[in-house]
Amino acid sequence: MSLWTPDNIMDVPPYPPDRFDGEPEHSASLRFATEPEDYSVGPMKFDYLVTETKSDGDYGLYRVELGPRAGGAAAHYHRAISEAFYVLDGTMRLFDGDKWVEATTGDFLYVPPGGVHGFRNDADEPAQVLVLFSPGAPRESYFEGLSHLSKLTDDERREWNFRHDSYFL
């Protein structure tokens, strides 16, 4: 359903305030799909498309490949950030706070701050998902710390998760 008609086409909702006031810049960045991943751990690969540093804190955008039966994150929530998942390829399981659902290419899950969610790949094939965090957070530190969690005590692991705004149920 369209919000716009010929009668209201010029009634534009307000945009955020300007954040740039200067001469146009050549500041775009391009990342080719053929570039190697930024980080991998076990059956997971991470492409840091836009980090919170690059976006000046606006958001973080990551492409995550979950290998066959890679698992993922159990039910959890964040207090400071929202998270969104867009399935690029394959089949994966997404938890929407009520139930685990099978999600395939083109499916999308938005999770506001405080929303319980989870994700995993239980399939025999890899899956790829775009993950957006807003506002931006240093999620690269979280991803790169995952391989060290088994070396932490339960209390240390809980503290590490809290520092990364991840509250597991």
Encode pLDDT of 107-157 as tens digits.
Answer: 999 999 999 999 999 999 999 999 999 999 999 999 999 999 999 999 999
Closest Cα partner for 109 from 93, 125, 121? 93
Q: Which amino acid is at 152?
A: L
Which domain covers residue 119, as residue numbers?
39-168
Indicate the pTM of the whole model.
0.90
Residue 114, domain member (yes or no): yes
Residue 82, domain member (yes or no): yes
Residue 76, domain member (yes or no): yes
Is residue 44 very low, low, confident or very high in pLDDT (cuts 50, 70, 90)? very high
Residue 101, domain member (yes or no): yes
Give the total number of structural domains in the chain.
Answer: 1
CA distances from 13 to 4, 10, 17, 69 (A): 11, 9, 12, 45
Residue 136, domain member (yes or no): yes
Residue 17, domain member (yes or no): no
CATH number of the domain encompassing residue 115: 2.60.120.10
d(CA 91, CA 163): 30
Q: Tell me: the pLDDT tens digits for 11-43?
A: 888 899 999 999 999 999 999 999 999 999 999
Is residue 100 very low, low, confident or very high in pLDDT (cuts 50, 70, 90)? very high
Residue 25, domain member (yes or no): no
Cis peptide before 36 (omega within 30 of 0): no
Residue 31, domain member (yes or no): no
What residues form DSSP beta bridges with 85? 109, 131
